[in-house]
C-alpha cells in the first residue's frame, strides 16, 4: 500500500489545524468525517485527484423522498444551483441522499489550507441551507403539492440557518 500523497497530507494538515476529526479511507486518497450543522448532519468526504492536482469536497445528508415529490425536489435543486457560483447541489436517486459537491484545482501539490477549509465550510453551509427547503417538499401533503411554488419557497429567509458571527450578543 502506498503512503498518502503530498496532496492528501496537505488536506490532513488543514483538517488537523481546524480540529476536525477525520479518517483516511484505506487505500484511497479520501478523508471521511461528519459535521453537525444547524439543520442536519452532514457526511463529508474530501477526495484528492493527484494527476489533476485537485480536491473535491462532497457533503451529503439523507433525504428520502417518494416518486410523487421527486420532480419538485429536483426543480428545487435546479433553481438553487442557478444562483450558485461555486459547487453544485445534486440528488442521488439510488441512495436518496442530498449532495453538494465542490472542486478546486490547485497550483501546487501542497494544497492551501485556507482554501481547503473554505471548501469544507462552503459544503456544510450549502447542505445545511437547502435541507429545510427539501424537508418542506418532503412533508407537503399530497393534495397541496400542485399549490407548492418552488420559486417562492426559495425566497423564504426564515428557513436559512444563522450566519456565524451575525447572531446578536446577549449582554
Show the domains of the chain with their CATH numbers.
6-153 (3.30.1460.10)
Average pLDDT on 4-20 reads 95
Lookup result for grid cell 450543522: 37
Asked if the model's pLDDT at residue 163 lies above 90, the reply is: no
Distance CA 47, CA 90 (A): 17
pLDDT of residue 171: 38
Q: What pLDDT, in 10s, does the model give residues 44-71?
A: 999 999 999 999 999 999 999 999 999 9
Q: Which residues contact 40 (CB under 8 A, 6 or more apart)?
A: 61, 127, 128, 131
Asked if the model's pLDDT at residue 14 lies above 60, the reply is: yes
In 3D, which of 9, 52, 59, 58 has the Cα closest to residue 29? 9
pTM of the full predicted structure? 0.91
Amino acid at each position: 500500500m502506498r503512503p498518502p500523497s503530498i496532496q492528501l497530507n496537505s488536506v490532513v494538515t488543514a483538517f488537523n489545524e481546524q480540529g476536525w476529526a477525520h479518517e483516511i479511507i484505506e487505500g484511497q486518497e479520501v478523508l471521511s468525517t461528519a459535521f453537525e450543522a444547524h439543520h442536519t448532519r452532514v457526511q463529508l468526504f474530501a477526495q484528492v485527484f493527484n494527476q489533476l492536482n485537485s480536491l473535491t469536497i462532497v457533503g451529503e445528508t439523507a433525504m428520502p423522498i417518494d416518486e410523487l415529490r421527486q420532480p419538485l425536489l429536483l426543480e428545487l435543486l435546479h433553481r438553487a444551483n442557478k444562483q450558485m457560483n461555486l459547487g453544485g447541489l445534486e440528488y442521488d436517486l439510488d441512495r436518496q441522499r442530498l449532495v453538494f459537491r465542490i472542486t478546486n484545482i490547485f497550483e501546487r501539490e501542497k494544497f492551501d489550507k485556507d482554501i481547503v477549509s473554505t471548501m469544507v465550510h462552503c459544503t456544510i453551509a450549502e447542505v445545511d441551507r437547502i435541507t429545510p427547503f427539501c424537508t418542506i417538499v418532503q412533508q407537503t401533503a399530497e393534495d397541496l403539492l400542485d399549490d407548492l411554488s418552488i420559486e417562492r419557497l426559495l425566497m423564504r429567509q426564515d428557513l436559512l440557518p444563522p450566519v456565524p458571527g451575525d447572531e446578536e450578543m446577549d449582554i
